[in-house]
A = this chain, B = another copy of it.
Amino acid sequence: MSAARERLYLFDTTLRDGAQTNGVDFSLEDKRVIAGMLDRLGVDYVEGGYPGANPTDTEFFAEKPPFRNATFTAFGMTKRAGRSASNDPGLAALFEAKADAVCLVAKAWDYHVDVALGITNEENIDCIADSVKAIADRGLEPMIDCEHFFDGYKANPDYALQCARAALESGARWVVLCDTNGGTLPDEIFEIVTEVCKHIPGEHLGIHAHNDTENAVANSLAAVRAGVRQIQGTLNGIGERCGNANLVSLIPTLLLKSAFADRFETGVGEAGLLSLTHVSRSFDELLNRAPNRQAPYVGESAFATKAGIHASAIVKEPETYEHVTPECVGNQRRLLVSDQAGKSNLMAELSRIGIDVEKSDTRLNALLREVKEREAEGYSYEGADVSFEMLARRILGSVPDYFKVESFRVLVERRYNALGNLITVSEATVKVEVDGESMTSVGEGNGPVNALDTALRKDIGKYQPFINDLRLVDYKVRILNGGTGATTRVLIESADGQGNRWFTVGVSPNIVDASFQALIDSVRYKLLRDGAPAE
C-alpha cells in the first residue's frame, strides 16, 4: 500500500482480439455480460470491439455500459492515406460510437507499409499522426497499437520508432508495442523495449503479446520489467491462433509476487483477486466449454496434489508446498483421493464437501478400505467428486436409495428398413421400485446408454419432479487394461437448471453396466441435493 508504487494499467481485449478465436462468436448479450465482469474485476480498459465493422459491435457501442471504473474503448484503424481524418468513413464510425477511448491499429513495419498498404513510409506516419489528433480533438483518449512492432523494429528500428513517436507526439496516451505474430522471445522483448524506453517514456508504452511460443505471459512481464506500464490481454488467454496474453495468469503474479507487487499497483484490488477463479470459470461457462483444469492459479487442479508422501506434509505446512495460497485467488486446495491416499487426504476431502467426521471414527477406516478396493477395480474419484460423496455418505452416514432398479434390458439392432437402408435402433426397458411399487418404462435412444437413460428417467414415481431439469452434458469412456478382459470406466457429467454441474463414475467390464452406475449416482445425488424425501 506504499504510495511509492507505480501504477500499472490493464487493458482487456477479450471482446475484440479475443473474438478472433477460432470457434468464439460473442452475441451482444455476451458482450454486455463480459464487459460487466471485467469492470467489476477492476481492469482499466475494456476494448469492446470494432464499431462499424459488424452490426453486433456497432450496436454494442450504441450506448455506454454502466461501468464503475473501466474506460470503454473502441478499436479501429488509422485513416486511409490521401483522406483527411475528418473525412474518413472508418474514423467516422468510431466517432459515432459511445466510447471514452479509441485504440487504433497502425503499421510499424516498413515492409508491411509497402506491401500490405502500398503507401510510402511518410504517408503512413501522416495517417498515424492525423488520426490520433482527430481522436484527441473529439475529447477521446487516443491510443495506437503498433502492429508487428517487434518484427518491424528488427527490420528497421528507426522507422518503427518514428511510428511510435509520431503517435506520442500527436497526443496518444498509449503507444502499444504489439508482437502480432507472437514469435518474439522474452529476452528479445526485454532488449527491444529497453531500447524503445530511451525514446518514449515507459508510462506511455503498452505491450500486446501473443502465445505462439507459450511465452505471452513471460513476454508481458519482461516488457513491464523493461519499462512499459500497460498490459493488454484477454480472459483465459483466448485469442487468434494460440491466444493472447492471459490476464487471469498475469493478475495474480502482478499482485502476489513481490518482484511486481512491491513496485506496482493495478486497478484490481483484493476483492477482484478473490473473484478471479469465479470470473475465469464463468467466462468458460459463457463460452460453453469445460474450464482448463490445469490453468495457473484458477484451475481445478492448480492446488491439487496426488502424491501420497506430499499430501500429509501439505496438510501440516501448506505454505511450503504452495507458491501462493489458493484462497487468495478464490480457488481451493484439493488433496486427490487416489490409490496413494492416506487418511489425511480423505479427511480433508470430506471436510471440503461438508462431511465432518472424527479422525477416530472407525467408519473412516471402512471408507478408506472401500475407496482403495474400488480404485483397484478401476474407479477413479479424482474426476468424480459426487460419486465419492455418495459413497462416503452411504458408508458414513445415511443417504437413502430413494428407488431400486430391479432389472433392465437394452437391445441394439442393425438391419435393413423397409426402404432397403441399413439402420440401427436402440431400445431399453427398465423396471424400478419406488415405495414398494414396481414400474416398467421403455425408452429409445441414439445408442444403448441414451436409451437406458431415457427409460430410467421416464418414471421414478414421486421423484420425477426433482429430475425434470437434470441433463447429461458429457460422457467419457476409458478402457482400463486393454483387450477383451478389459474394465470400462465411464465418467458422466450432469447439469441442472440451477447451473450446478457434477461428475459421477461407474466401473464394470460391461460398458452399459458402468454407464448405468454413473447414471444412478447422478440421479440420486440430484435427489439428495434438492432435498427429496426418503422412502
A residues lining the B interface (CB < 8 Å): 20-23, 25, 27, 29, 54, 109, 111-112, 115-116, 148, 151, 181-188, 211-215, 217-218, 221-222, 225, 237-238, 240-243, 246, 249, 252-253, 257, 259, 288, 293-297, 299-307, 313, 316-317, 320-324, 336, 339, 380, 382-383, 405-416, 424, 426, 445-450, 453, 471-486, 488, 493, 508-513, 516
Q: Identify 11 residue pairs between A and B in the complex whose beta-carbon atoms are under 8 Å apart, listed by A's number.
A: A22-B301, A27-B480, A148-B320, A187-B259, A240-B304, A242-B299, A242-B302, A448-B510, A472-B483, A474-B479, A476-B477
Which residue of B is nearest A431, CB measured? B415
Q: A23-B293, A213-B323, A479-B476 are in contact. Are A510 and B185 (CB under 8 A)?
A: no
Chain B residues closer than 8 Å to A488, beta-carbon distance: 447
Nearest CB of B to A464, in Å: 18
Nearest CB of B to A260, in Å: 8
Taking a contact as CB atoms under 8 Å apart, the answer to whether A424 and B512 are in contact is: yes
Which residue of B is nearest A323, CB measured? B183
Q: A185-B221, A301-B241 are in contact. Are A447 and B510 (CB under 8 A)?
A: yes
Taking a contact as CB atoms under 8 Å apart, the answer to whether B302 and A116 are in contact is: no
Q: A212-B302, A214-B217 are in contact. Are A510 and B446 (CB under 8 A)?
A: yes
Which residue of B is nearest A515, CB measured? B511
Taking a contact as CB atoms under 8 Å apart, the answer to whether A512 and B293 are in contact is: no
Taking a contact as CB atoms under 8 Å apart, the answer to whether A243 and B294 are in contact is: yes
Q: Which 10 A-B pairs have the closest CB atoms?
A: A183-B323, A218-B218, A477-B477, A446-B509, A214-B249, A447-B510, A22-B301, A214-B217, A407-B415, A181-B323
Taking a contact as CB atoms under 8 Å apart, the answer to whether A296 and B212 are in contact is: yes
Besides A183-B323, A409-B412, A446-B485, 18 more A-B contacts (Cβ < 8 Å) are: A22-B294, A22-B383, A23-B380, A23-B383, A111-B320, A112-B320, A183-B324, A212-B323, A214-B246, A214-B249, A215-B218, A215-B221, A240-B307, A407-B416, A426-B510, A447-B509, A472-B484, A475-B479
Which residue of B is nearest A445, CB measured? B484
Chain B residues closer than 8 Å to A112, beta-carbon distance: 320
Taking a contact as CB atoms under 8 Å apart, the answer to whether A214 and B293 are in contact is: no
Nearest CB of B to A469, in Å: 14
Q: Which of A22, A109, A183 counts the most chain B CB atoms within 10 A?
A: A22
Taking a contact as CB atoms under 8 Å apart, the answer to whether A317 and B115 are in contact is: yes
Which residue of B is nearest A481, CB measured? B27
Contact of A483 among B405, B407, B474 (CB under 8 A): B474
Contact of A476 among B288, B446, B450, B472 (CB under 8 A): B288
Q: A407-B413, A448-B412 are in contact. Are A296 and B213 (CB under 8 A)?
A: yes
Chain B residues closer than 8 Å to A181, beta-carbon distance: 321-323
Which residue of B is nearest A451, CB measured? B510
Taking a contact as CB atoms under 8 Å apart, the answer to whether B243 and A482 are in contact is: no
Taking a contact as CB atoms under 8 Å apart, the answer to whether A482 and B474 are in contact is: yes
Taking a contact as CB atoms under 8 Å apart, the answer to whether B336 and A22 are in contact is: yes
Chain B residues closer than 8 Å to A320, beta-carbon distance: 109, 111-112, 115, 148, 151
Taking a contact as CB atoms under 8 Å apart, the answer to whether B513 and A511 are in contact is: no
Taking a contact as CB atoms under 8 Å apart, the answer to whether A411 and B409 are in contact is: yes
Taking a contact as CB atoms under 8 Å apart, the answer to whether A225 and B187 are in contact is: yes
Chain B residues closer than 8 Å to A485, beta-carbon distance: 446
Chain B residues closer than 8 Å to A475, beta-carbon distance: 479, 482, 486
Chain B residues closer than 8 Å to A252, beta-carbon distance: 213
What CA separation (Å) do A211 and B294 show in the bound complex?
Answer: 9
Which residue of B is nearest A339, CB measured? B54
Nearest CB of B to A53, in Å: 9
Chain B residues closer than 8 Å to A183, beta-carbon distance: 257, 322-324
Chain B residues closer than 8 Å to A185, beta-carbon distance: 221, 253, 257, 259
What CA separation (Å) do A73 and B314 show in the bound complex?
Answer: 28
Which residue of B is nearest A410, CB measured? B412
